[in-house]
Amino acid sequence: MNPTWRDEQHPSFIRFIASFLSANSYRLNFLPISPDFIFNNGGLSVAFIFETTWDPDKASVVFSRVERLKAQFRLLYVVIGVPTREQNDSFNHLYFKYGVQLGRPTFVPVRDPEMGFEKIVKIAHARGVCKRQDAVGMMRSERERAVQGMDMFLRVVTSIPGIDDHDANALVQSIGSIEAISKASKSFILETTDLSVEKAERIVRFFRDPKYYLSPKLD
């Protein structure tokens, strides 16, 4: 929380914020940040401007600050307190007057400060959940690609006459990729794996002798 913003609020509201954050497993720190709040969820930072009650006389200051901060923060939200219909109408009018680009950033009108802060925590939490789900999805995709790659590796290597799954696993653990195996010498294969001399010779011939790998194999 920005300490300047804190000092402008009623102490009871700050106590409400501290209690609400604690109940939702957040730790509150006061730092000289540019926005009013920054939430960090698993490495994802979400920034907030929080105008607890809309004052049309300060519209130019608010919208200028929004323009400045949206260039600094990819995830920026602006929460505006509009407890009366007149304030809500005033905000809507000035929002379009100042030519704010729709959704950049997202403005969130609320009826009271407590509702506003609850919205802030919900938004920050939701963005953190989305990031974790994206990370889990990426890890799952990477695992699937790794499994598919390993299957392809085994199919290629075990197509060499006399080479079984055990031999293929020994090759991938000791030498690595198919490209590395194709360049490996017989002596290197023997030094780094438990394959026999005959199998090492077959691997070298398979990758380097067209007459060998293009001829029919009869076991």
| Pair 191, 116 in one domain | no
CATH of the domain at 48: 3.40.50.10130
Name the residue range of residue 121's domain: 3-139
Tell me, yes or no, whether 120 and 160 share the same domain: no
Residue 73's CB: how many other CB atoms inside 10 A?
17
CB distance 17 to 117 below 8 Å = yes
CA 19 to centroid of chain Cα atoms: 29
User: How long a stretch of residues is the chain?
Assistant: 219
More confident position, 7 or 26? 7
Nearest to 193 by CA among 165, 164, 208, 172: 172
Condensed to tens digits (0 to 9), the pLDDT of residues 182-212 reads 888 999 989 888 899 999 998 888 887 766 5
Show which of 84, 111, 139 is a domain's final residue: 139
Q: Can you give the pTM of this predicted structure?
A: 0.60
Whether 9 is covered by a domain: the verdict is yes
Residue 165 lies in a domain: yes
Q: Could you tell me the sign of the dihedral formed by the alpha carbons of 192, 193, 195, 200, in that order?
A: negative
Q: Is 26 a domain residue? A: yes
Which among 139, 157, 178 is the end of a domain?
Answer: 139
Average pLDDT over residues 66-79: 93
For position 193, which CATH number holds? Answer: 1.10.150.20
| pLDDT tens per residue, range 100-128 | 887 788 899 999 999 999 999 988 888 87
Q: Are 72 and 42 in contact (CB under 8 A)?
A: no
pLDDT recorded at residue 217: 46
Mean pLDDT, residues 137-144: 60
